[in-house]
Amino acid sequence: MNTVLNVKDLCKTYIVNKRQNNVLKNVNFTVNKGEMIAIMGPSGSGKSTLLYSVSGMDAPTSGEVIFKGSDISKLSENVLSNIRLDEMGFIFQQMYMLKNLTVLDNIILPACQSKKIKESRKETVERGQKLMRKLGIIETAENDITEISGGQLQRACICRSMINDPEIIFADEPTGSLNRTASDEVMDELAKLNAEGTTIMLVTHDVKVAARCGRVMYIVDGNIQGEYNLGECNSPSQIRERERALNNRLMEMGW
């Protein structure tokens, strides 16, 4: 398998009131192309800090984050910004979108800003519409973001994360603000993208969400305490069994 992300001895330290807070401590792991990985752990364990550090959104204190052969922790902010725009997709619990743009215009905005994308605006719009059809929200294209449901908005965020054909998608609690039905719909779409070859790394506190992933890393106090390999989820009928198996493994690790 091709390695997309290789994290070596990653540390992140914050100084708060002259006190040193070691949020991440010598974290090591790899992410291979086509994997779908969940990061789980108690509140305050460092899950989101880990995601932001390996995606270049936050600078680590020490260690290496090798993305497609380059240590992104050593790159200038301009170069790193272009990598985030062109090679990475992002989905957050809070669905950040510009209120003065339609849903479609929000989706295609990263492509309009990218120097990698060499196409006309018409071609960009057509790609955005194609993604919206794929995720079942094409009817919302000209809506304001306040005129659609939370589930539709999060699917629009998935479209936006895919518009520049990223190497990997990072998702921080992508279903955290959704009800169970909308959460299942969003995870169905992420699972489809992963089955088509998109690499996904997500943070979640939801066992049902994590059970859709192939591998789960469990982090406590800034250290990865263990991981559980669930393998591929080949049918919806397997999900309940995967949830039970994952929940048992998490309990063994102190969940």
Assess whether pLDDT exceeds 90 at residue 34. yes
Instruction: State the Cα–Cα distance between residues 97 and 20, nearest whole angstrom.
Output: 35
Closest to 112 measured CA to CA, from 80, 141, 86, 135: 86
- Strand 88-92 vs strand 19-32: parallel, antiparallel, or unpaired? unpaired
Q: What does the alpha-carbon distance between residue 76 and residue 30 come to, in Å, rounded to a whole number?
A: 23
| More confident position, 22 or 219 | 219
What pLDDT does residue 242 have? 92
Domains, the chain, with CATH or none: 3-252 (3.40.50.300)
Q: What is the mean pLDDT of residues 225-230?
A: 93
pTM over 0.85: yes
In this model, does residue 21 exceed pLDDT 90?
no
Q: Residue 218 pLDDT > 90, yes or no? A: yes
Residue 232 banded pLDDT, cuts 50, 70, 90 = confident
189 touches 135 (CB < 8 A): yes
Contact 221, 22 (CB under 8 A): no
What residues pair up with 71 in beta bridges, in sequence order? 66
The pair of structure tokens assigned to 103 is 């849903």
Going by C-alpha positions, the residue among 69, 50, 70 that lies closest to residue 60 is: 50
* Calpha distance 41→205 (Å, rounded): 7
Residue 230 in tokens:
């669930």
Contacts 24+ apart (CB under 8 A), 208-214: 208/183, 208/239, 208/243, 209/38, 209/174, 209/175, 209/183, 210/38, 210/40, 210/246, 211/239, 211/242, 211/243, 211/246, 212/36, 212/187, 212/239, 212/242, 213/36, 213/37, 213/38, 214/35, 214/36, 214/37
Position 1 scores a pLDDT of 60
Nearest CA-CA partner of 39 in 231, 240, 251, 220: 220
Percent of residues, the chain, with pLDDT higher than 70: 100
Which range is least confidently modeled, 19-23, 49-53, 77-81, 119-123? 19-23
Q: What's the confidence (pLDDT) of residue 56? A: 93
